[in-house]
Structure 1
Amino acid sequence: MSFSDQIPFVPPSLIENPEPRCPCLLLLDTSGSMNGRPIAALNDGLRTFREELTGDAMASQRVEVAMMTFGPVNVLSDFETADVFQPPTLQAGGDTPMGSAIMQGLDMLETRKGIYKHAGVAYYRPWVFLITDGAPTDSYAAAAERVRQGDNPERKAFSFFAVGVEGADMSKLGQICSPSRPPLKLQGLSFRELFTWLSSSLGGVARSQPGQLVALPPPSGWSAV
């Protein structure tokens, strides 16, 4: 391997905009059971997410969004700032390879962190946000172990959030999540409210200093008790 092969490519966007980055990876279940109203509501929520992020001048320059769907696993967009992010219209179909999606998503995240470091761009603790209405149809033990190792008070490699839509196996989601951040149940199809909360939370992080502890708003209005 040549020396140039070992150096991560630095996108022009990181040179032109050296603001600290707050990466957010969306892992979205688009399996067949999401067909109909659920996928329509999810698409509506994603549009709200983009509108609210771009309405926040700081967040639009600092928050980077990547989107991966599973059913099958598919990277729809790599990390890009909110002002560039354009959520595609999702279609439902297939199984729920959640374990593979988590593993590939965390690999994407590690690659992006390496690029930040090479470019000399500071970054906040990344967010991984998973939404599902089912249970993994593949092996998820390795993914669960990786999540629990990365999302803990000592390592703080990332913050992993899981949201279960109606029909989700909350017990299995609980096995994947860190004990300190258990999964939350979505109230009905309140995707707009969920993504409003997510954009508001990311905006609060983006206005802070990297490494600073930021209190998140309560998940009221979208999370079922």
Structure 2
Amino acid sequence: MMRRLPIYFLVDVSESMVGKNLYSLEEGIGAIVSTLRKDPYALETAFLSVIAFAGKAKTVVPLTELVAFYPPELPAGGGTALGAALSHLMDEIDRTVVVTTPNRKGDWRPIVFLLTDGHPTDDPSKALDRWNRSYRNRVNMVAVSIGGGADHTLLKRLTDEVIVFNDSAHDAFARFVKWVSMSIQSQSRSVSAGQDGKVSLAKAEPGLLESVENAEGLTPFAGVDDRYAVFVGKCSKKALPYVVKYERHMGRIETSDPVLSKLLQTRRYALDAVAPVKNSYFELSDSGDSGQSVSSGDLIGQPNCPHCGARFAMAVCQCGKINCVDGGGDHTCPWCGQVTTYTISESGEHFDIGRGRG
């Protein structure tokens, strides 16, 4: 029986990843597969799986032989439930990895690439304990903090291999994909030579990938990733969901525009992206609301609807849900089905908007 090298991509597809990062990861997984198929050692041993997680976790591609692996479209969801993701991963490892017994050689030690850009929005303590008790010593995990936004202290409790990926560097994702591919190729060669130890990572590029050596303390469970203010809306014409993402500017934005400069002094979040998502978004989202809101006065920027192009994608119905409208007047809410009269708020008139977990 052939001994497999199981490789799991545990991918954060939360709202904070929506947009460029999620598209880049989709393309990146495809590029990794294309590269590995040219390597005879990887072709012989590598089996790949993709697990996506947001408020819930889901196996998008089960453990599949490299030659038959087809790169998936990554879904999106609300929340960053790292505890749920780890529990799902461990269950998948139990279900799919062949263990060594006195009568047979099992699979090689699995590799997990955990890719995340945020802090957990669930309580991962039980999953962490289970991981460290039963999996850490028999699974190679590489935790990648995309943009340095993950909880490095928590990741250090999972693995010694915590890497910060500078996603704003020149050709960042292309270079990152090359690094992941070379690391898998190196491990494929190692196991083909009968060596089944610590993962053989490729040399990290300074300015692109940096190892986290020490992280002290434990960031408490907060329930919401406050680096972003994320909102979920529905198109009034097509009833399809979309995600609006504002990023906390933290005083980093510089401008010579006096009007924008004044707004930046009083408002906390600037529009970062608006992206269409599918109805599968709700399947991966936390079942409950975040219970938190943001004042409209803290937001800079008004997006158009990505589905129909309506001018206002942040209209709020009396039911509290967000939808798009072309202007004021009577419109049917795609969430509750009620006809609501919408008005354009005047300058200085603010209201609270329910936010997602990020």
SS at match of 1:89: coil
Cα distance per residue 1:198-217 (max 9 Å; x no partner): 22222222223344446432
Shift of 1:64: 0.8
Counterpart in the other structure of 1:191: 173
Counterpart in the other structure of 1:200: 182
The amino acid across from 1:168 in the alignment is: G
Counterpart in the other structure of 2:65: 81
Q: 1:128 to 1:188 in 2, by over 3 A?
A: same
Counterpart in the other structure of 1:220: 205
CA RMSD of aligned residues (A): 2.5
Asked if the contact 1:173–1:183 (Cα under 8 Å) also holds between the matched residues in 2, the reply is: no
Asked if the contact 1:145–1:176 (Cα under 8 Å) also holds between the matched residues in 2, the reply is: no
The structure with the largest helix share of the pair is 1
SS at match of 1:83: helix
Match of 1:110 among 94, 102, 117: 94
Q: 1:173 to 1:131 in 2, by over 3 A?
A: farther
In the superposition, the TM-score normalised over structure 1's length comes to 0.79
SS at match of 2:154: helix
Does residue 62 (structure 1) correspond to residue 45 (structure 2)? The answer is: yes
Counterpart in the other structure of 1:42: 25
Asked if the contact 1:128–1:160 (Cα under 8 Å) also holds between the matched residues in 2, the reply is: yes
Shift of 1:184: 1.2
How many pairs are equivalent? 203
Cα distance in 2, alignment partners of residues 159 and 121 from structure 1: 18
Cα distance per residue 1:139-169 (max 9 Å; x no partner): 10122223333565xxx31011111112623
The structure with the largest strand share of the pair is 2
Shift of 1:127: 0.7
SS at match of 1:218: coil
Counterpart in the other structure of 2:35: 52
Larger Rg: 2
The amino acid across from 1:159 in the alignment is: N
What are structure 1's unaligned runs of at least 5 residues? 1-17
The amino acid across from 1:219 in the alignment is: A
Shift of 1:32: 0.8
Asked if the contact 1:60–1:82 (Cα under 8 Å) also holds between the matched residues in 2, the reply is: yes
The amino acid across from 1:188 in the alignment is: D
The correspondence of residues 46-195 of structure 1 with structure 2, limited to 5 A, is 46-71=29-54, 72-114=56-98, 120=104, 122-150=106-134, 156-166=137-147, 168-178=149-159, 181-188=160-167, 190-195=172-177
Asked if the contact 2:143–2:161 (Cα under 8 Å) also holds between the matched residues in 1, the reply is: yes
Cα distance in 2, alignment partners of residues 118 and 80 from structure 1: 26
Q: Higher mean Cα deviation, 165-174 or 121-130?
A: 165-174
Cα distance in 2, alignment partners of residues 118 and 91 from structure 1: 41
Cα distance per residue 1:58-92 (max 9 Å; x no partner): 20231111111012311101111111111112133
Cα distance per residue 1:34-58 (max 9 Å; x no partner): 1111111111211111111111122
Cα distance per residue 1:120-153 (max 9 Å; x no partner): 454221111111111111110122223333565x
SS at match of 1:217: coil
Asked if the contact 1:132–1:163 (Cα under 8 Å) also holds between the matched residues in 2, the reply is: yes
